[in-house]
Structure 1
């Protein structure tokens, strides 16, 4: 497992890509979680900014999370996260797109109240096959330490 001690500011992990995103997957996610017309059909997207069927931003976030958790040779010793900041959806995700994630360690520190864990700050960018950033955010992950002080 990858622990707190294994992460250093400046470390970069490139994860992915996903399988090509299908219309069926976009619609299934949207029907369940984000049933806006432009996420449900080409016709619903035709007269919008998207022009054709587009994945929900939350679908993009879920695919990003999957890559963050499964895209490494070893899993992270994750203990969760207190949240994220500056979530931005920069460009739509369409049928056929393949997403990759670049995760950069920006800072880290040992938890003052729970010395068995460290807090690792990441900048996360999700990109499509054309290297266009489709989503970005900053997050803090709580990672187990091998030694608690």
Structure 2
């Protein structure tokens, strides 16, 4: 999508992305090797009753869905960050995650005419509608003058 295609109130949906146990362990082994992400036997006896994905893995899944559904072919070039990120429920192997992204604000920079600014809320929902990720991101777009 191009920057001009975004408007406040717009909803972009994508997915599902099915999470596998191998993906949970593989991501966590490299980036977040806590026992409840990498040790299935120990995780089974733990608080969550089984393996759960790293929250950072969940963010990476959301990023992939957003990139494919909205940013591919766009003028997007960076992000200054997130307002917040929350993981209300764990992601488990077998979950089918869907993206629900709502555009909150679209504007041109007051100081740079070639810069577009998009604020949007990304939510990932599992197959039963449970929210597993909630964040607000800002994306920057390089525009022609």
TM-score with structure 1 length normalisation? Answer: 0.90
- Tell me the distance in 2 between the aligned counterparts of 1:64 and 1:131: 15
Per the alignment, residue 7 of structure 1 pairs with: 6
Out of 20, 23, 48, which is 2:21 matched to? 23
Question: Greater shift after overlay, 111-120 or 70-79?
Answer: 70-79
The question of whether the paired residues in 2 share the 8 Å contact of 1:10 and 1:104 is answered with yes
Unaligned runs of 5+ residues in structure 2 are none
- Tell me the distance in 2 between the aligned counterparts of 1:144 and 1:134: 31
Q: Deviations over 1:24-77 (max 9, x none)?
A: 111111110000000012222134331101111100100110000013495332
Q: CA RMSD in A?
A: 1.6
1:66-85 equivalences under 5 Å are 66-72=64-70, 75-85=73-83
Per the alignment, residue 62 of structure 1 pairs with: 60
How far did 1:108 drift? Answer: 1.8
1:1-149 equivalences under 5 Å are 2-18=1-17, 20-72=18-70, 75-145=73-143, 147-148=144-145
TM-score with structure 2 length normalisation? Answer: 0.92
